[in-house]
Amino acid sequence: MTTPLNPDTLWDLIERRAVLTPDRVLAIDERDRTLSFLELRDRAERVAAALAVEHRVGVGTPVAWQLPTRLSSMVLVGALARLGAVQVPMLPIYREREVRFILAQVRPALVVVPSTWRGFGYLQLAERIIDDLGLPTSVLVCDDELPEAEAEAEHEADRATDRWIARATHQATHTNTTIEGARRSGDPGANGTDPVRWIFYSSGTTGEPKGALHTDGSLFAGSAGVVDAYRITQDDRYPMVFPFTHVGGIGMLVIQLLSGASAVAVEQFDPEHTPPLLARHGITIAAGGTPLALVWLQQQRRHPTQPLFPLVRAVMTGAAPKPPAMHAELKRELGCSGALSCYGLTEVPFLTVSSVDDRDDDRALTEGRPIGGAEVRIVGPDEQSCPTGRVGEIRARGPQVCRGYLDGSRDAEAFDDEGWFRTGDLGRLDERGNLVVTGRLKEIIIRKGENISAKEIEDVLYDHPAIADVAVIGLPDPALGELCCAVVVLRRPGNGPAAERTDGPESGPITLAAIAAHCRRAGLANQKVPERVEIVDELPRNASGKILKYQLVERFSAPAR
C-alpha cells in the first residue's frame, strides 16, 4: 500500500518526504550528481524566495518553463509548488508554432528556458515571441542553475506569497480568470479547495494544442495507484529518459515523493551509452514506455549472456501499443517479471495499469485495471454502455481527470453529459475488468508516445506550391510505434502550379528532404516532420468527400520501396 503521507498539495508532499527520508536520493544525473529529498526541499525554498522577490511569482502566477530533464528542473517544480504558482511545462521539442500558441493563450508572467540546448536557441525563440505578442512577460535563463536567495530572504518569500494571494492585476488576472471560467461546474476543485496548479498541453485533432487543467490532487490520484499496483518502495530506481515536462514526467516525480524511490535523470537518450549508465546506477524498473521496451530488448539481444539491467524486476510499458509477445520476451530475455502496462492521456494520466499480482495473460494482452479511484466505461455509437467484451469508445471519470481545458469552449466536445471524458480511443473491458485498447477514433499519430495531429501537418503541407492535396497518416514502426507519412498529390497543369519550380526556397521536386525543409520553415517541431512521403495520383474519398485514410494505411504499411 502507498505510504500514508496524505498530502494536501505538492509542496506539502515535498515537505513530508523530506522529513520521512531526508537523505535518500531523489535523483542522480549523467554526471553522477545527486539530489536528496531534503536537498530538494531546501533548494526549492531558496529558489522560491528568489522567484518571489526578483520576479514577483506568487499564488496563481502563471509560469511557463521549457527545460530538459535535469535536477534543476525538479528543483524548479518544487519552488513553484512552494509559491502556489500555476505551472505550464512545455516539451523541449516544441518550436515556433507550439510555443507561440501557448504563450499567447496563457500570457505567463515568467518564462524559464535554457539559453541553448542541443543546438537550439530557446532564449532567442522565447524573447522573439514575447516581443511579437507584446506580452509583459519576463524571461529567466536556466542553464542548469537557478537563482537562490539566502536563508534570511525566505521570510521575504513568505511575505511575497501573502501579497500575491489576492493578485488581480497584470497578466495573471487574464489566466486566473480563464482558469476559473474553464473549470466545469460540479468538479472537485471548482470551489477552490483543490485549485488548478498545472496546465499541460497536448495537441489534438484540430492541430491546435489543448491546455488541460490539472490540480495537485489530480496528479496524486493516478500516481498513488501506480505505487500500489507496482509495489514501488524506496529501494526502487527507474530511468527518467523521457521529457520531464511531459505529464508523465511530473507524475513520476510524484511517484517518487509518495514512495521514496529514486530516478536516473537523462537529458538525452542514446541507445548505446544510456543502458550501461542505467545499469551502473542499478535501475529496478525499466520505465520509458513501449518504444523503450523495444530498445531494451534490442540491446539485450546484442549481448545475450550479459544481463542488460542486473537488478531490474519489471519493465513499464505504455505510450504506444505493446505487441502481445512482448511480455514473455521481457521475462525471458531481461530476466524480470515482464511488462507492467500503463494507459493514460495528458487529460487523464495513469488511468489503468497492470499489477505485479496480475496473471501473465492479463499483463501480455491488456492495459490493466483502473486505479486511483477512476472508472472506465465503454460506450457504443448509440451512447449506451457496451457489455463486457464489446468494443466502443473508452471514457473515463475520476479524480485524475483534468478539470477541463484552458479554452473552455473545448469542454463540451471532450466531456459527455454525465461528465465522462471522451478519450477518443477504442477498446473493451474483459471479464476481470482489464482494459484492452484496440484503436483510436481520433486521427492522431503516436510517435514515441507523443501525440501528433495529422491535420496540423496537412495544413502546413497544403501551403506548399507544388502540392495539390495531402493526407498525413501514421504507419506502424517497430522503433517509433508509428511514423508519420505524408501522402501527396502533386499540382500539375490544369490544377495549379507545376510540381517543379526553378526559383525560391520551394524550388525543386517533391522529395522527403524537400517536405522536411518546408515543415521546418513553417515552424513545425521535429517530431512532426514526416519520415516518409508517398506520391499518388489522387486520394481515395467516400461519397461525402472524406479521405479514406484506412485505405492509405493498408496500402503503405509495407516497408517503403
pLDDT of residue 9: 97
Judge whether 157 and 83 are in contact, CB under 8 Å. yes
Set of cell numbers at residue 66: 521549457
Q: Coil, helix or strand for 275?
A: helix
Per residue in 222-264, pLDDT (tens digit) is: 999 999 999 999 999 999 998 999 999 999 999 999 999 999 9
φ/ψ of 479, rounded to 5, equals -95, -40
Set of cell numbers at residue 67: 527545460
Which of the four pLDDT bands, split at 50, 70 and 90, describes residue 318?
confident
pLDDT of residue 209: 84
Question: How far, in Å, are 108, 349, 415, 503, 540 from residue 192 at the CA level?
Answer: 21, 22, 21, 59, 51
pLDDT of residue 13: 98
CA distance 351 to 318: 11
Q: Write the single-letter amino acid at 414.
A: A
pLDDT of residue 166: 38
Residue 504 pLDDT exceeds 70: no
Which of the four pLDDT bands, split at 50, 70 and 90, describes residue 453?
confident
Bridge partners (DSSP) listed for residue 211 = 201
Contacts of 454 (CB under 8 A, 6+ apart): 205, 443, 444, 445, 471, 472, 473, 474
pLDDT of residue 159: 56
pLDDT of residue 534: 95
Per residue in 23-36, pLDDT (tens digit) is: 999 999 999 999 99
Pairing relationship of beta strands 444-447 and 421-429 according to DSSP bridges:
unpaired
Q: Percentage of the chain surpassing pLDDT 90?
A: 68
What is the rounded average pLDDT for all residues in the chain? 87
Considering the entire predicted model, what is its pTM? 0.81
pLDDT of residue 496: 40
Per residue in 361-379, pLDDT (tens digit) is: 999 999 999 999 999 999 9
Residue 153 pLDDT exceeds 70: no
Q: What is the dihedral of CA 199, 202, 204, 206, to 10 degrees?
A: 70
Rounded to an integer, the average pLDDT of 139-167 is: 69
Residue 22 pLDDT exceeds 50: yes
Q: How many CB atoms lie within 10 A of CB 120?
A: 14
Of 341-355, 465-479, 533-547, minimum mean pLDDT range: 533-547
Most confident of 319-333, 437-451, 482-496: 319-333
Judge whether 299 and 308 are in contact, CB under 8 Å. yes
Write down all domains in the chain, each with its CATH number in brackets: 33-182 (3.40.50.980), 219-440 (3.40.50.12780), 444-556 (3.30.300.30)
pLDDT of residue 493: 55
CA distance 466 to 305: 53
Per residue in 64-111, pLDDT (tens digit) is: 999 999 999 999 999 999 999 999 999 998 999 999 999 999 999 999
Rounded to an integer, the average pLDDT of 476-480 is: 88
pLDDT of residue 164: 45
Which of the four pLDDT bands, split at 50, 70 and 90, describes residue 180?
low
Rounded to an integer, the average pLDDT of 506-528 is: 86
pLDDT of residue 322: 78
Q: Percentage of the chain surpassing pLDDT 70?
A: 86
Judge whether 456 and 207 are in contact, CB under 8 Å. yes
pLDDT of residue 350: 95
Per residue in 327-356, pLDDT (tens digit) is: 999 999 999 999 999 999 999 999 999 999
Per residue in 202-227, pLDDT (tens digit) is: 854 345 789 999 999 999 999 999 99
Q: Coil, helix or strand for 73?
A: helix
Set of cell numbers at residue 248: 508523465
φ/ψ of 365, rounded to 5, equals -110, -10
pLDDT of residue 203: 58
CA distance 452 to 93: 12
Set of cell numbers at residue 113: 528556458
Higher pLDDT, 483 or 468: 483
Q: Cell 491535420 identifies what position?
A: 455
Of 26-35, 129-138, 400-409, 443-452, minimum mean pLDDT range: 443-452
Contacts of 490 (CB under 8 A, 6+ apart): 466, 467, 468, 499, 510, 535
DSSP 452: E
Residue 553 pLDDT exceeds 50: yes
